Structure 1
Amino acid sequence: MNIIVNEDLRAYIDPLTEDEYAALERSILAEGCRDALVLWGEVLIDGHNRYSICSRHGLPFQTVQNTRFTSMEDVHLWMIDQHLGRRSVSDFQRGVLALRKKEILETRRLAVLDDPAPDASASEAATGAGPEAALPPPPPLKSREAIARAARISSATVGQIEKIQKAAAPELVAAVKSGEVSISAAAVIADLPAEEQAAAAAGGKKELRQAAKRVRESRGGKKPASDAVAEVAVEVLGVATTEDGEPEADPRIALLRAQVNALQEENGQLRAQVTELQAQLSAARHSAG
Structure 2
Amino acid sequence: MDIVVNEELKAYIDPLSPEEYEALERSLLAEGCRDALVLWGDVLVDGHNRYGICRKHGLPFQTVQNTRFRTLEDVHLWMIDQHLGRRSISDFQRGVLALRKKEIVAERRARATAGPAPAPEVPASAPSAEAIGSAPPPAPLDSREAVAKAARLSSSQVVMIEKIQKQAAPELVAAVKSGTISINAAAAVATLPAEEQVAAVVAGKDELKQAAKRVRESKRKPREEGAEAQEDGAQHGDELQALRRRVAELTAENGALRRQLAALQASSDAKEGAELSAPF
TM-score by length of 2: 0.76
Q: Within 1, Cα distance between the matches of 2:209 and 2:80? A: 31
Give the equivalent residue in structure 2 for 1:195.
Answer: 195
Give the equivalent residue in structure 2 for 1:35.
Answer: 35
Q: Within 5 Å, which residues of 2 pair with 1:169-188?
A: 169-188=169-188
What is the number of residues matched between the two proteins? Answer: 221
Report percent identity of matched pairs.
68
Q: For residues 222 and 67 of structure 1, do their structure 2 counterparts lie closer, same or farther at Cα, with a shift above 3 Å needed? A: farther
Contact 1:33 1:50 in 2 (8 A): yes
Q: Within 2, Cα distance between the matches of 1:8 and 1:213? A: 38
Q: Within 2, Cα distance between the matches of 1:56 and 1:173? A: 31
Give the equivalent residue in structure 2 for 1:84.
Answer: 84
Q: Within 2, Cα distance between the matches of 1:210 and 1:42? A: 50
Q: Does 1:219 align with 2:186?
A: no
Q: Within 2, Cα distance between the matches of 1:99 and 1:24? A: 28
Q: Alpha-carbon deviation of 1:130?
A: 2.3
Q: Deviations over 1:127-176 (max 9, x none)?
A: 43224200000110000000000000001000000000000001100110
3-state SS in 2 of match to 1:138: coil
Contact 1:69 1:75 in 2 (8 A): yes
Q: Within 1, Cα distance between the matches of 2:144 and 2:124? A: 36
Give the equivalent residue in structure 1 for 2:161.
Answer: 161
Contact 2:161 2:183 in 1 (8 A): yes
- The amino acid that maps onto 2:134 is A
Contact 2:42 2:123 in 1 (8 A): no
Q: Alpha-carbon deviation of 1:124?
A: 4.2
- The amino acid that maps onto 1:123 is E
Contact 1:216 1:222 in 2 (8 A): no
Q: Within 1, Cα distance between the matches of 2:19 and 2:218? A: 39
Q: Alpha-carbon deviation of 1:126?
A: 3.8
Q: Within 2, Cα distance between the matches of 1:130 and 1:118? A: 18
Q: Alpha-carbon deviation of 1:184?
A: 0.6
Contact 1:67 1:130 in 2 (8 A): no
3-state SS in 2 of match to 1:123: coil
Q: Alpha-carbon deviation of 1:221?
A: 4.3
Q: Deviations over 1:72-99 (max 9, x none)?
A: 0000000000000001110000000000
3-state SS in 2 of match to 1:2: coil
Give the equivalent residue in structure 1 for 2:127.
Answer: 129
3-state SS in 2 of match to 1:33: coil
Q: Within 2, Cα distance between the matches of 1:95 and 1:162? A: 9
- The amino acid that maps onto 1:108 is R
Q: Within 1, Cα distance between the matches of 2:142 and 2:50? A: 35
Q: Alpha-carbon deviation of 1:220?
A: 2.6
Q: Within 5 Å, which residues of 2 pair with 1:20-99?
A: 20-99=20-99
3-state SS in 1 of match to 2:138: coil
3-state SS in 2 of match to 1:220: helix
- The amino acid that maps onto 2:128 is G
Q: Within 1, Cα distance between the matches of 2:19 and 2:169? A: 25
Q: Alpha-carbon deviation of 1:123?
A: 3.1
Structure 1 window deviating more from structure 2 (122-131 vs 17-26): it is 122-131
Contact 2:32 2:59 in 1 (8 A): yes
TM-score by length of 1: 0.74
Q: Deviations over 1:200-257 (max 9, x none)?
A: 011111000110111111113499xxxxxxxxxxxxxxxxxxxxxxxxxxxxxxxxxx
Q: In structure 2, list runs of 5 or more residues that go unmatched.
A: 224-280
Q: Within 2, Cα distance between the matches of 1:169 and 1:126? A: 40
Give the equivalent residue in structure 1 for 2:238.
Answer: none
Instruction: Flag the structure with larger Rg.
Output: 2
Give the equivalent residue in structure 2 for 1:264.
Answer: none
In angstroms, what is the RMSD of aligned CA positions? 1.5
